[in-house]
Amino acid sequence: MTATVSVIVPTRDRTAQLADALRSVALQGIRGIEVVVINDGGADVAGVLPLGVRGMTVRLLSFPRSRGPAAARNAGLEIATGRFVAFLDDDDLYLPGHLDRALAALERSGTDAVYADCVLSGARAVPGEVPAGSPYRYDFPYDPDMLSVANFVPTTAVVARNPAHTAPASWFRFDPELPILVDWSLWLRLVHDRGWSFTRLSEPGVVYHREPADASLAGGMAARVAWLSQYEDTYRTVIARWPVPPTGRVARFRRHALTMFAIAQEHLATGADLAPFAYEEALRVLHAGFTGRLEEDRVPTHLTKVLTTRTTTGPRAAAPR
């Protein structure tokens, strides 16, 4: 039977988090949900899959060895039967009503995809509850030009029409050749190459976890410097695929984004760590400058401030996926 919405959940060796993520889907309370779990070469997860949840079916794909999250999501898309597809990382959570609101917005607006606001949490949240006291959000209005500067749409926030429901859609895939920023690369392809439109849902729909133990920042300062270099290299690769006029606003703010990397690298080179939630703070500075809420000539100074100012009690800086 064709599902209404297929939720694609890649996972690897995080069974406890996966169980919570699936619980948050079960709590959505709508019928016609198909969950496609892709075990990317990790330990067996069959024991944490929910059984007998009314209105929800769960399908499991298992890779004998890891292929990476992009390939895992693509495998899920290959077999998804839903008219709509949604994405949920195994360490994140849906908030109650998220899928219902997203599907209603898609039907009402005729847009191709919607993305909900995300609550960022540095500690594990409980399925069905909004984390208390978190000041950080992904809550950026949709702007395709700003999207060409930096990604403000986390994968786990997106619910989209499934183009494969009506025709073959090999173009609706994440790029497994990119080590990171695979979601941003796909959104740019959809918007600029396929003419897709996105709509923001201004009510929080997702808990987006950024825990201090994030693997991308574990292993000491050398590992963090190497990760930041990889992030900058991948950023340059992505913007090269979608070139813009060199004197326009998008090009200028892409250069501000590269300044962000330079500031972060210089700061790490002193032996100091980045500020907590540094990327989110820097993204907010770029967005404020791009939309005219911050004078452009003040952007570098504000980037320096948010990247290097630390509190004595804050967690280690979290890394975007």
Q: Dump the DSSP string for 203-252.
A: EEEEEEE--TT-GGG-S-HHHHHHHHHHHHHHHHHHHHHS---TTSHHHH
pLDDT: which is higher, 50 or 217 = 50
pLDDT of amino acid 309: 80
The domains of the chain are located at 3-209, 221-308
On the 0-12 / 13-18 / 19+ scale of CB atoms within 10 A, 82 is buried
Q: How far apart are CA 266 and CA 274, in angstroms?
A: 10
* pLDDT value at 216 more than 70: no
| E strand segments, 5-108 | 5-11, 33-40, 56-63, 84-87, 93-94
CA distance 97 to 54: 16
More confident residue, 224 or 170: 170
DSSP-derived secondary structure letter, 190: I
**Which tens digit of pLDDT belongs to each residue from 168-181?**
899 999 999 999 99
Which pLDDT does position 219 carry in this prediction? 52
Q: What is the pLDDT of residue 1?
A: 54
**Of all helices (H) and strands (E), which one includes residue 122?**
none
pLDDT of residue 38: 98
Mean pLDDT of 221-250: 93
Assign domain 3-209 to its CATH architecture. Answer: Alpha-Beta Complex (3.90)
Q: Could you report the per-residue pLDDT of 257-290, keeping only the tens digit for each?
A: 999 999 999 999 988 888 778 888 999 999 999 9
State the pLDDT at residue 277: 83
Give 98-145 pLDDT, tens digit per residue. 999 999 999 998 999 999 999 998 888 999 998 887 778 899 999 999
